[in-house]
Structure 1
Amino acid sequence: MKINEKLTKPITEVNYLRAENVDRYRVIIRYFYEQYEKIQYWLYKEDVFEAMIQTGLFPNYTLDQCQSDLSSLTEWKNLIAIQDTSKVTSIEEFKNRKYRYQLSEYTIEIERMTLKLENLQVEGASLEPTLLERIQYQIMCIETLQDASMLEIHTWWKDLNANFIRLNQNYQDYIRTLNSAKAEEMMKTESFLLFKEKIISYLRNFVKGLQEHAMILEDYIQNIPFETIVILIEKAVNYEMSIPRMDDKIQKQDIYDNFMARWDSIYSWFVGKNGISEVNRMSDITNEIIRKITRYAQQIGELQNQGANRAEEYKHISDLFGKCQDLNQAHKMSALFFGVDKPLHMQAIHNRNTDSIDSGVYEEEITYYALEPRTRVATVKTKRQPAQDYNLEKEQQRLEILEHKQAQNEKLKNYIQDGVVDFEKIDILDGESRKILLSWLSEGLNDVSKTAKTDDGRDFYIDDSNLKTIEVKCEDGIFVMPSYRICFKR
C-alpha cells in the first residue's frame, strides 16, 4: 500500500453531505448535477434560486441565502466560480461581481456515488463508435428474441442498457472535458496546435459513425411494435423476479416501471419527441466544438505569423522610400502604404437605387440637401402654432382607467368570501388579480403586526396559522405557495 499526500489529506468536498444546512446543499448540488447531465455546465445564482423555490421545500428561501449557500459550496470546492464580465457595461456592475458556477470534478464523482440506484459507471471519457454498432446490432435482434428464453432476453436487456449507459456517460464526460475552464485555457496556448488535428479527426469520426448508425436506428425503432417491447420487458422482469435475493423483497411493478422508463429513454435518445432527438443535439454540440477548436487554432496561427517577417517588410519599405526622387513622390508612396492622410468623404447620399459596390458616384441620381447658414445673423424663422388641447383625450383616458379599475374590483370581490381571501379555496385565479392579491400579502407580511390597507382604505390582516404548501390554479399555470389567508376587518 502506497501512502501519499492525496491519501492522507482531508476531502473538503464531502462537507455538504453533513453540514448544518445539508437539506439545502444537497438540493443545490443535485440541481447542478441534473443540469450537468443535460450539458448545461454554467449556472447563475438566479437559476439556482428559482429551482429552489420551485421545489416547494423552502418557501421562505431568499436570494441572499442562496448567495450564502453558493459561497459555502465554493469555499468547500464543490463549485467553481468564475466572474462573468461578458455583459458588464459599467464599473458598478464590475464591482458587484456577477459569477457563474460549475460543479467541480470531485463533486461530480461524489454525486454519482450518491445515485447508486441509477448504477452510473465512472470511467475514462471517450467517444467510441463501436458502442453504436453494438446498440444497432442489439436493437435489430428484437425480432428474433420473441421466442427466446427469459434468460436470453434478460441478458440481451442488460447488455443493451449497459452499452447505452456507457455511450451516454462517456459522451457527456468527454464533452465536459472539452468545455471545462482548463480546456478553454489550453486551447489558447501554442502547444494546443500539436494535437488539434487529432481532436478534430477524433470528433469527426465519431460524428460520421453517429450519422451512419443513428439514422438506421431511428427508422428501425420507429417501426418496432410497442406490443413486442412490452412482451420482451415482461419476460426480463419475470426473470429478474426469479433471482433469489437475501435482502428486502422488491416489487414487480417497480422493476417494470424502471425497465419501461429505460426503453423510453432509448427511444427518446434516437427518435426523439417533437422532432428533436438527443442524437441531433449531440451532433450539433460536437460540430460546435469542432468550430471552436478550429477558431482557436486560427487565432493562434495569426498571432504567430503576425510578427514573423515584419522586420524584413520594414527594411524593404525603407529601401523603396530611399529610391524616391523627391518629396512629392515620397508622399505618394506614403499614401500607398499607410493610406491617405486627409481623405475626402461623400456625404448626404440617400435613397440609392442599387446596393452594388461597383456603382460609381456619377451613375447615381442627384440628391438635394438643404443647407442652413451657420451665422448668428441669418436665422430660420419659426412658425408659431397654437397649443393643442388634449383635455378630451385625457378625459377619455381617465374614464378608461376608472372602467378598468371598476372591472378589476368586481373580479376581486369574487375571491373575497365572508371577508376572507383563502388561496386554498380559489378555483382559478387570473394573472392581474393574482398580482394585486400578492401585493396585499406582501404588504401585510412586511408589517410587524401583519396588518395593512388596500388602495381604497380597507384594513386587513394576514392569517398564517396552520400553514402548508398548496397549489393555486391560475390561467397561466400552477402557482405553489403557503396557505395564507387575507382577512378584512369589519
Structure 2
Amino acid sequence: MTSRPAEPDRIRPDEAAASADSPAETSYAPFAHLTAPNTALYRQVMRVFLAAKERFAVHLRPEDVHAALPPEHRPAAPDAVVKALDSLVGWGNLRADPDTSRVTAVEDFYRRRFIYQLTQAGEAAEQALSVYDEALGRRGALQAVALHDIVTQLRALLVIAAEHEEGEPDPAKAHLALSTLTNRFEALAENARAFMGSLQRTIDLHGVEVEVFLAYKDRLIQYLERFIQDLITLGGRIARLIGELEEQGRVGVLLRLAAAREAADAAPDEAESAEARAQARWAAKWAGLSAWFVSADGRESQARLLRGRALGAIPQLLAVVRQLNERRAGRSDRSADFRTLARWFAEAPDAEARHRLWRAVFGLYPARHLTVDADTLADRAARPVAASTPWAEAEPLRISPQLRRTGSYERRGKPRRVQDRSEQRRRLAEIAAKQTEEIAAARARLATDGTTRLSALGELDPMAFGLFLRLLGDALATWRPGMTTTVTTSNDGTMEIRLTALDDGTTAAIRTPGGVFRGPDHLVEITDLTAGIPAREAR
C-alpha cells in the first residue's frame, strides 16, 4: 500500500488572481512591486510577459521567464525567478495555473508546478508605467508647423460657417475641421510645455552633457528665434481668425453641428444628454484655444507668455555658455573649489588628517602656533601640549625680531605688473556706443509724426525692420475680438505703437534689403518714448 505524499503549501491561483480579474472593486495592489525589494527584477519579469503577449504567447513557465530575462537582471538560481513570480501572483499582476502538461506520475501531480500569464490588472499597471516613463523622457518641441495648420483649419471653419449661413450646413465637415484643429492645438500646447520644461533643465544643466550642450547651443538659439518669429506673425493672424469666428455666434453653430454628429450614434434615451455633453466638451476646447491666443482683460494669452519665456531663455542660454567657457578657460570657480575641498574632507582617513587639512587650507591656527616649523612640530610630537593649556603655563614662544619690527615676514620687492586692459575696454565702449546709436537711429526712423499708413513707412534697414516687427508683434498680441484699435509699448518701454484696422482691404508693402514684407494695411502711430532723454539715460 502506497502512501500519498504530503501536500506542500501551495498558492491557490484561483484565490490569488480573483481580485485582479474582478471588476467589482478597484485595487492598486499591482503597483506594490514598485516599492518592494528587488523592484528591478519585478519590472523585468513583467516586461518579459508583455513581450510574450506581443508574440501571442499566453502562458510562460518559470524556466521560460528565466531564459528571457536580460543577462544583467537574470538571477543565477531559477528559484529567485519563481519567488518573484509568486509575489507578482500575490499582488495580482500575474495569474498562476497548475501545469499538468508534464505530469507523468502521481508524485508529479502533487509537486508544485505552475504556468503563469498576465492578468488584466497587471497589463493595465504596465501600460500606466510605460506612459509614465514616456512622459518623463519626453523633451517636446516648439511646433511652428502646427501654427500653420491651425491657421488653415480656422480658415476652413470660416468657409463652413459661410456655407451654413447660405443654408447648406455640413456637420461632417464641421466635425472633421474642429477635430483636426483641436488635435493640432493640443499637440502644440503639450509639446510647448514639455519643451520649455526640458529647456529649463538644459539651462540648469540637469542631466545634460556639457560638451553636447556646447555643440548644439547655436542651433537651439536659432530654433528659438525662428519659433518666436512664427509665433509673432501667425499668433496675431490666429487671434484675428478666432475673432471672426466668434462674431455673430458663428463658432457656436459649428460647435453644435459637431456635437450633434458625435451624439448621432447614442442610444435613443441618451441622445439629448449625449449631445449636451458633447457640446459642453467642444465649448471647453474652444475656450482653451481662444485663451491660448487671445488676451483678455487682466490676463495675457498663453502665446504671449510662451513668447516671453522663449525670449528670456535666449540670454539665459548665453549666460550658461559664458559660464561654461569661463570654467574651461581655467578661471576661478569658488563653488567648484568648495566642492573639491568638501570631497577632500570626506576622503580624509581620520580626524587628525582633517585637522591638518583645515590648518593647511584656512590657516586659522591658535595664536601660539604663529612660528610653527619642523623643529616645533617635532617638539610638540614629543611633548604634546593640550589646547586648554593657559598662556601663563605654556612654554614661551620665540618671535623673530623682524616680525616684531615690521609685523610681517613677507619679502619686499617689486610687485607684479598689472595687465593693461584699457584697449579692450575702449573697444567694448566703442561697440556699445555704436549699437546704441544704431538703435536710436532705428527708433527715430520708425517714429511717425502723427498717424500714417503702414504702406507709407517706405523702405526700412535691417535694424529698423527688426524693431518694427517686434513692435508689430506686441501690438497684435494684445488684439482681441471686436477691437479696431490697440495701443501697447515695447518690452523695454522705449516705443509706443497705436494700431488701427482699416476696412478698405488694401495691402501694405514694406521693402527691406532682404525682401518685401506684405500684409493688411493699417493706420499706425509710433512714438519714441526716449525722445528728449539723454543717450546715457535712454540706454
TM-score (norm 2): 0.35
> Which structure has the larger Rg?
2
Using the size of structure 1 for normalisation, the TM-score is 0.38
